[in-house]
Amino acid sequence: MAARAQSRDRTLVVGAGIVGICCALYLQREGISVTVVDPREPGDGCSFGNAGVLSTGGVTPEAMPGILRRVPRMLLDPLGPIAIRWSYLPRIAPWLLSYAWNSRAEKVEQISIALAQLSKEVIPAYEPLLGDAGLRDMVRKSGCLYVYESEEAFRSARPAIELRRRRGIPAEELPGEEIRQLEPDLAPIFPRAVFWPGFAHTLNPKRLTSALAEHFARRGGSIFRGEVVALERTGEEKLVAVTRGERLEAARIVVAAGAWSRPLAAMLGTRLPLDTERGYHVMLPQPGVTLRRPVLSSEGGFVMTPMEHGLRLAGTVELGGLKAPPDPKRADAILKRARRMLPGLGEAGSETWMGFRPSFPDSLPVIDRAPHQRNAYFAFGHGHRGLSFAAITGKLIAELVRGGKTSIDVAPYRAARF
């Protein structure tokens, strides 16, 4: 698939994660010649191992009111659903302060409205891409179930549930006895659950990304294997992406390099507070139990998603930067809780993984023209919802490139908000 486009009129997309590939496809639909550049295979970054949920109700920011009270626990419990590595605390402190600042009630409402605009477009923006590529069967529209192991956990989730309701996300609150009608294999340990019927999920996020990338290549797009180490301007307003060994000239560049986008944006003159919320998964190829839809453990901070290659347990947050090695105990902690939720869970052949969510402290992505480089665009920072918001991001980037009015107001996603 590694082909090289020589055209200087092409658009270069840096990053072959789900966001970069969706940008490439939407640009290609505009008749633009596109090259995607990445040192890895498409979908081998964070897009490889997510929980696969296409969140049509992803309208709650990560930092909700009261988050500050949880910080001591984040520091003291390295296996908790949100943990901060002590060694990374000095680096992440400014990000954390901004995260806390964004948890004020009026700010949360504002962020939620901005998230809702994107959430509404999750499925409509994917439809044409999946339809064209013959991949509709990779998405199941069977909703998502949030389960609570105590009345107290349910009470503390109430503000988030109400926020979703205010944004018009349909929900059904279920008492304990009704939960097992939806999911008979769940243990009878949940007094409460909320069913979100509008959610969907993919059967394999990695295969979805690589299949979309193959479709892009079949339609004439090229994918170049290389790491962009510098972005330079040439005299005639062209841009050059420098890889180890190649100089790729382009009429415009889209930065979609996920958690690694910060230095690339800085090369284009914009400093942004992008960091990473590391997350883990455990893949169980022979789970021996059946779930009909993704089930989210509220206390555990992870989702159990039925996929084509087994059951995936994925989630939790570790603030520890891009360099520290994974902590296998965090994956074990997910598995331990899942055993209690799903009696008889089969663990043979299990595999663990860690990925780097690209996250801004206000839980919103940057989808924008680069403020200091008119022929460059930013599409990164999607945090917990990159799979969900990838297609609408691609659509918006193509609209920004075309010029004129975008189909939704992109003001909340501007880089200049920081």
Ligand X SMILES: Cc1cc2nc3c(=O)[nH]c(=O)nc-3n(C[C@H](O)[C@H](O)[C@H](O)COP(=O)(O)OP(=O)(O)OC[C@H]3O[C@@H](n4cnc5c(N)ncnc54)[C@H](O)[C@@H]3O)c2cc1C
Separation CA 304–CA 291 (nearest Å): 8
The residue among 192 and 281 lying less far from ligand X, judged by its C-beta, is 281
Residue 219: alpha-carbon gap to chain centroid: 26
Smallest separation (angstroms) from ligand X to the CB of 177 = 28
The residue among 154 and 380 lying less far from ligand X, judged by its C-beta, is 380
Farthest-apart Cα atoms in the chain, separation: 69
Smallest separation (angstroms) from ligand X to the CB of 105 = 25
Within 13 Å, how many C-alpha atoms sit on residue 124's CB side? Answer: 9
Smallest separation (angstroms) from ligand X to the CB of 194 = 17
Residue count of the chain, please give it.
Answer: 418
Smallest separation (angstroms) from ligand X to the CB of 287 = 17
Give me the residues that bind ligand X (CB under 6 A), please. 14-20, 37-40, 44-47, 50-53, 55, 227-228, 256-260, 279-281, 303, 314-315, 355, 357-358, 380, 382-388
The residue among 178 and 391 lying less far from ligand X, judged by its C-beta, is 391
Smallest separation (angstroms) from ligand X to the CB of 10 = 16
Smallest separation (angstroms) from ligand X to the CB of 276 = 9
The residue among 174 and 259 lying less far from ligand X, judged by its C-beta, is 259
The residue among 190 and 356 lying less far from ligand X, judged by its C-beta, is 356
Q: Assess contact for 213 and 223: CB atoms under 8 A.
A: yes
Question: Tokens 């769940």 label which residue?
Answer: 186
Burial level of 69, CB count in 10 A (0-12/13-18/19+)? Answer: exposed
Report helix, strand or coil for 121.
coil
Separation CA 78–CA 14 (nearest Å): 34
The H or E element spanning position 315 is: strand 310-319
The residue among 67 and 256 lying less far from ligand X, judged by its C-beta, is 256
In 121-175, alpha helices (H): 122-133, 151-166
